[in-house]
Structure 1
Amino acid sequence: MRIAYFDCFSGISGDMCLGALVDAGVPLKKLREGLNALHLVSYEIRRQKVKRGAISATRIEVIVKKGEPTRRLADISTIIGDSDLPPNIKKRGLRIFGRLFQAERKVHGGRLKDLHLHELSATDCIIDIIGTLLCLDILGTREVISSPLNLGGGTVSSEHGLLPVPTPATSQLLKGKPVFSTGIQKELTTPTGAAIITETATSFGHFPEMTVDSTGNGAGGHILKEQPNILRVFIGDKTIKPHNGHHKGGSNELVSVIETNIDDMNPQVYEYLMERLFNEGALDVFLSTVIMKKSRPGILLQVLAYPASRERLIDILFEETPTLGIRFHETERVCLEREIKKIDTEFGSVRFKVVTTDGYRKAVPEYEDCRRIAEKTGLSLIDVMKMLKS
């Protein structure tokens, strides 16, 4: 499974994220093409190779034209919602901005819809956040892991006056996350960086077992005398212990199993719930009838997902069901490599799921195509499937 590990020994910010991921192999042209989906024209992206200490790094700067307006959460939601970005990028981008504005509301008060935060809602912040999500997508990462975050120290100027480091908003965003400071009197972890990493990272800790394919160094704006001001990222495949059983042509991958027992929910809700879970990254959702305490009949709801999707799927379960507790664990699964191919048949072009392993080839027609043919020809669905398999 493709993962990204962020080494935040010198903190994290939006521009450092972009620099590290571009340095790790994201073509700048491809990033620009992806950002064009936002339909923003008042900025340009500049890349520069720089030195931070003795280390070479990529510095990404978003240059915004003067006179850009401050934006409220509703304005940013409209920009992202009306864009041509992929649905998953839209959703994650909106969640990150939601985190930022909620943190500022808790610190400074006021109504969420009335907040207009120059530092957090300017065009460069939108580019940093959406650009980071696009880069992770371009690199094919399914999970992000982060080291503990170096916060820095001292004070920083803002619209609200002089603030201590970490700023109150950053402190709100990093609740429950591992942090530290080496005493450097600079803001090393910014609110934007904190919001990005708390949304994307599934865990925080030591370097994971992985096979590293590429690395990237993203340069921060400060020149530090104590250490290189860079964010390091490592891209590669997570190392999974070999499966004890014998399987041909299969590959192991790590998945999360999320489950909860429910005995007091209207059954009509399950259809809507399953749609939401699938839309947010669930690989599979299934329901089993169980007998619970006091001999109550209930439902065991289980969700299979990649670890990167786990936290938001748990949030959905708490939002949409009356459950008060959710269990999860990570496990391995073995999947045969497969691809979708269009094959010419007596019914025209039909999509088949094709599996090839150790010389063995199996092709299964896609259900939706079989259904379409059955409805068009009047043949039974079973007969259509048999004819296509023969």
Structure 2
Amino acid sequence: MSVLYIEPFAGLAGDMLLSALCGLCDGYDEVIGLPEKLNLPDGKVEISTVNKNGIVCKHVKIIDLNEAAQPNGQGATTHSHSHKHTHSHDQGHSHSHNHSHAHRHLSHINDIIDKAEISDNARKIAKEIFLIIGKSESKVHDIPLEKIHFHEVSAVDSILDIVGCAVMLDTLNVEKTYSDPVCLGSGTVKTQHGVLPVPAPATADILRGIPTFKGNEPGEKTTPTGAAILQYLNPDFSVPTSAIKQSAYGPGTKDFTVANVVRVSLLASSPIEQAEMYVIETQLDDTSSEILGSDFQQQLLELGASDFYYTPIHMKKGRPGLKISVLTSPPSLEKACEFILEHTPTIGLRYYKVGKQMLSRNALEIETEYGTVKVKESIKPSGRRQRKIEYDSLREISQKLNKSVLETQELLRPLVNQNS
């Protein structure tokens, strides 16, 4: 399994990420053959070497052969109608022309992915990335998801960018991603829908919960495709101190003062994971314990809280009360706060940022003569492995054996700790 570190200091686009990921796993030959595997004969992949401010790296360029076959880059892709529109390429130039263009529904794109000669996991990754884009497009344009016409991201280049990244991520077997804040750019961009502010509305929606900054130069630095791939990876923005095993650069098509590349690195894995979290707190002295029971707690977890606890306290006027403490990730902070304000009598709460360290852990299922035992395995900083039997398994097997949970635990412990 791999740990990725992404540095989008000059922005993020699908072709930039694809180029960098191909560099990490030497996947250039595989991505060259991708149009055939996706049954997209109008797509072609070319690999070129470019120099971005002294950084020499390879660029994976997707060519739409239909556009290339026409004068001035105008092509005749399969499409039910023609119109004049402005078309924006990933971090590239914008231009207006009359041509036919493939506007596909999400179902059409999923059908292409389902029939592709790629792994099941790569299919899953690609479809989840397109779903992220689809949900944002649906929200921005107020159109049901199944009726959304993908515009720029339904073209051959975007399909191959996303599926190519999915194949590379599957090859790398990424288990954890860290990232720096994303450069957005500024100004305006010409799109199918007209002139829009940077970032485009769909890009801004996709990037919710992700730290961003505008940078010092105008232009579109991050595209919907790049944003959706990053959002799929669900990165942690508290980058740990870790050794870099390998790095690769993915260039964009434009040139800026800052080198227009994204750097993607493989980090040496560590048994200690670090995360940036928030603690939400409020005190209650006028709430029934029934309200704070299992339903309240389950809904908090469903909203993204990773932990919570209650502390008995003495409040003003000598009143006994409870302090609620909820641990949540940055993307879930707002929803968790709104839930507490909505479902308790409190009229205010506070939250603050904390660091979190966790041991790497695995969920195991171990076959024994008494049945399947679910085990949580954690890895100590020394490399020693520690295993703990899940209570549900203990309870189930104890009932089967007509023994107490403690007796069953002692019986199973040496069996689950073999070869640990």
User: What range describes the TM-score normalised by the shorter chain of this pair?
Assistant: 0.5 to 0.7
Amino acid at match of 2:174: G
Equivalent positions of 1:273-352 (< 5 A) are 273=299, 276=302, 284-291=306-313, 295=319, 297-298=321-322, 300-303=324-327, 310-318=329-337, 320-322=339-341, 327-333=351-357, 335=359, 340=364, 342=366, 344=368, 346-347=369-370, 350=373
Tell me: CA distance 1:348–1:227, structure 2 relative to 1, closer, same or farther (3 Å).
Answer: closer
Equivalent positions of 1:57-76 (< 5 A) are 57-62=57-62, 66-67=77-78, 69-72=102-105
Residue in 1 aligned with 2:193?
160
Tell me: CA distance 1:291–1:100, structure 2 relative to 1, closer, same or farther (3 Å).
Answer: farther
How far off its partner does 1:13 sit? Answer: 1.0
How far off its partner does 1:221 sit? Answer: 3.4
CA deviations on 1:228-283 (whole Å, 9 max, x unpaired) are 543222332599xxxxxxxxxxx543234433346575635335325525xx6x6x
How many aligned residue pairs are there?
Answer: 354
Tell me: CA distance 1:322–1:67, structure 2 relative to 1, closer, same or farther (3 Å).
Answer: farther
Residue in 2 aligned with 1:248?
none
Tell me: CA distance 1:237–1:326, structure 2 relative to 1, closer, same or farther (3 Å).
Answer: farther
Matched, 1:385 2:413: no
Matches of 2:18 and 2:59 in 1, distance apart? 8
SS at match of 1:180: coil
Residue in 1 aligned with 2:89?
none
CA contact (8 A) 1:96 1:196 kept: no
Q: 2:223 aligns with which of 190, 201, 224?
A: 190
> Quick one: percent identity of the two aligned structures?
21
CA contact (8 A) 1:14 1:196 kept: yes
Tell me: CA distance 1:119–1:287, structure 2 relative to 1, closer, same or farther (3 Å).
Answer: same
CA contact (8 A) 1:26 1:139 kept: no
How far off its partner does 1:333 sit? Answer: 3.1
CA deviations on 1:18-63 (whole Å, 9 max, x unpaired) are 2112212374689899999xx9654767362422345332333456
CA contact (8 A) 2:308 2:327 kept: yes
Structure showing greater Rg: 2
Residue in 1 aligned with 2:212?
177
Matched, 1:235 2:266: yes
Q: 2:158 aligns with which of 102, 115, 125?
A: 125
Amino acid at match of 2:176: R
TM-score (norm 1): 0.65
Name which of structure 1's ranges 358-367 and 111-120 shifts more when overlaid on structure 2: 358-367
CA contact (8 A) 2:279 2:354 kept: no
Name which of structure 1's ranges 370-379 and 23-32 shifts more when overlaid on structure 2: 23-32
Matches of 1:130 and 1:287 in 2, distance apart? 42
How far off its partner does 1:4 sit? Answer: 1.0
Matches of 1:327 and 1:32 in 2, distance apart? 49
Matched, 1:373 2:397: yes
CA contact (8 A) 1:257 1:329 kept: yes
Name which of structure 1's ranges 254-263 and 68-77 shifts more when overlaid on structure 2: 68-77
Amino acid at match of 1:23: G
Matches of 1:291 and 1:45 in 2, distance apart? 66
RMSD, matched Cα:
5.1
Residue in 1 aligned with 2:71?
none
Matches of 1:158 and 1:72 in 2, distance apart? 18
Amino acid at match of 2:274: L
Matches of 2:32 and 2:242 in 1, distance apart? 29
CA deviations on 1:95-154 (whole Å, 9 max, x unpaired) are 45433554x53xxxx54656524113446435545654675573535343235526376x
Residue in 1 aligned with 2:19?
19
**Residue ranges of structure 1 left out of the alignment (5+ in a row):** 240-250, 305-309
Matches of 1:326 and 1:40 in 2, distance apart? 51
Tell me: CA distance 1:27–1:302, structure 2 relative to 1, closer, same or farther (3 Å).
Answer: farther
Residue in 1 aligned with 2:296?
270
Matches of 1:361 and 1:197 in 2, distance apart? 32
Residue in 2 aligned with 1:145?
179
SS at match of 1:8: coil
CA contact (8 A) 1:12 1:190 kept: yes
Matches of 1:356 and 1:201 in 2, distance apart? 22
Residue in 2 aligned with 1:260?
280
How far off its partner does 1:288 sit? Answer: 1.6
Tell me: CA distance 1:337–1:291, structure 2 relative to 1, closer, same or farther (3 Å).
Answer: closer
Amino acid at match of 2:243: T
Matches of 1:67 and 1:159 in 2, distance apart? 17
How far off its partner does 1:2 sit? Answer: 3.9
Tell me: CA distance 1:81–1:377, structure 2 relative to 1, closer, same or farther (3 Å).
Answer: farther
CA deviations on 1:181-233 (whole Å, 9 max, x unpaired) are 436xx6443343345556745549xx9754222111113234x4867543222
**Residue ranges of structure 2 left out of the alignment (5+ in a row):** 67-76, 80-101, 343-347, 415-420
Matches of 1:318 and 1:77 in 2, distance apart? 36
Tell me: CA distance 1:91–1:379, structure 2 relative to 1, closer, same or farther (3 Å).
Answer: farther
Matches of 1:261 and 1:213 in 2, distance apart? 40
SS at match of 1:16: helix
Amino acid at match of 1:5: I
CA deviations on 1:318-365 (whole Å, 9 max, x unpaired) are 565436756242324363877847364x52564555678779876544
Residue in 2 aligned with 1:46?
45
SS at match of 1:233: strand
SS at match of 1:329: strand
SS at match of 1:386: helix
Tell me: CA distance 1:261–1:230, structure 2 relative to 1, closer, same or farther (3 Å).
Answer: closer
